[in-house]
Amino acid sequence: MTAAIELDALTKTYGELVAVDRISFTVPEGQIFGFMGHNGAGKTTTIRMLLGLTRPSGGGARVLGRDVVADSLAVRGLCGFLPASYGLPRDMSALDFLAYVGAMFGLPRAEATARGRALLELFDLGPVAGKALGGFSTGMAQKVGLAQALIGRPRVLFLDEPTSGLDPLGRHHFLTHIRDLARDQGVTVLFSTHILGDVESICEQVAVMHHGRLLACGALQALKAERRAATMDDLYLDLVQGAA
């Protein structure tokens, strides 16, 4: 299986603080890959480095064979990203915003609008496509967030804590969309979260980070068997407490 994402001793330091400490792993193409760790573990910094938004202090990484530093624009052209924390332009309509993001990918106006409309329909937001984003609920805004990540037809999708703040039904729908994307369109998903139940429900492989270090990486079932963990919670606690 070809690698969609390859990290090789990727490191980020801020002065004395080591935010990401020489982590290496590979994400196979077309998989939903769980990227776990508590808040501050280094997940977001890693994703930002993979998108060329933050310059690594050491090591390197490639996304779909492109170097994330030397070729960051090409990487971003192939990827979608939903950050953990973001805002939407309150005075813009959902459709206008998606068309605007589409233009950033170089899509002609008509195509960007059509694609934006199709995504809003997919996420049941068709009836409110022309409404200002300022009036959207958290769940609706998160769907627009996912839609903007998909507008450029990404081959790799980086989702950073995408289900935080969603109610159980919203979370279920969101995870279903992610699963469908990987299954139907072969999109590789790097799913960063600290909600272990989400990882267990949709990920085949996982990487666990703790204080900037990679504690474990591999097939979820194999890791559970290796650690004799019945659940994802047991596995995570075993890894983190073992590292403390």
Choose the binding region for another protein from 92-100, 119-127, 183-191, 226-234 (rule: CB under 8 A): 92-100
Phi, psi for 33 (deg, rounded to 5): -110, 120
Q: Which of 40, 70, 86, 183 binds another protein (CB under 8 A)?
A: 86
Of 86 and 186, nearer to another protein (C-beta) is 86
DSSP run (H or E) holding 177: helix 168-185
Of the pair 104, 243, the CB lying nearest another protein is at: 104
Q: Are 61 and 12 in contact (CB under 8 A)?
A: no
Residue from 38, 8, 43 nearest 23 by CA: 8
241 binds another protein (CB under 8 A): no
Question: Length of the chain, please?
Answer: 244
Among the listed residues 44, 117, 39, 32, the one whose alpha carbon sits nearest the alpha carbon of residue 82: 44
* Burial class for 173, CB neighbours closer than 10 Å (0-12, 13-18, 19+): middle
Site string for another protein, 48-67 (x = CB under 8 A): x--x-xx-------------
Min dist. Cβ of residue 144 to another protein (A)? 10
- 69 touches another protein by CB under 8 A: no
Work out which of 152, 161, 192, 223 binds another protein, going by CB under 8 A. 152
Residue 34 contacts by C-beta under 8 Å, 6 or more apart in sequence? 191, 193, 198, 199, 202, 203, 205, 206, 207, 220
Judged by CB under 8 A, the stretch of 76-84, 187-195, 201-209, 233-241 that binds another protein is 76-84
Choose the binding region for another protein from 13-21, 95-103, 193-201, 213-221 (rule: CB under 8 A).
95-103
Q: Using an 8 Å Cβ cutoff, are 107 and 115 in contact?
A: yes
**Mask of contacts with another protein, 23-42, x by CB under 8 A?**
--------------------
Site for another protein in 106-135 (CB under 8 A): 106-109, 112
100 contacts another protein (rule: CB under 8 A): yes
Interface pick for another protein out of 12, 43, 62, 76 (rule CB under 8 A): 76
Q: Which of 105, 128, 213, 220 binds another protein (CB under 8 A)?
A: 105
Q: What Rg, from alpha-carbon coordinates, does the chain have?
A: 18
Residues of this chain, 154-193, that bind another protein according to CB under 8 A: 158
Determine, following the binding rule CB under 8 A, whether residue 77 of this chain makes contact with another protein.
yes
In sequence order, what DSSP letters do the residues of 2-63 get, joined into one string?
A: -EEEEEEEEEEEETTEEEEEEEEEEEETT-EEEEE--TTSSHHHHHHHHTTSS--SEEEEEE
Strand partners for 116:
none
Q: Are 35 and 192 in contact (CB under 8 A)?
A: yes
**Binding interface with another protein (CB under 8 A):** 48, 51, 53-54, 73-74, 76-77, 79, 81, 83, 85-92, 96, 99-101, 103-109, 112, 145, 148, 152, 158
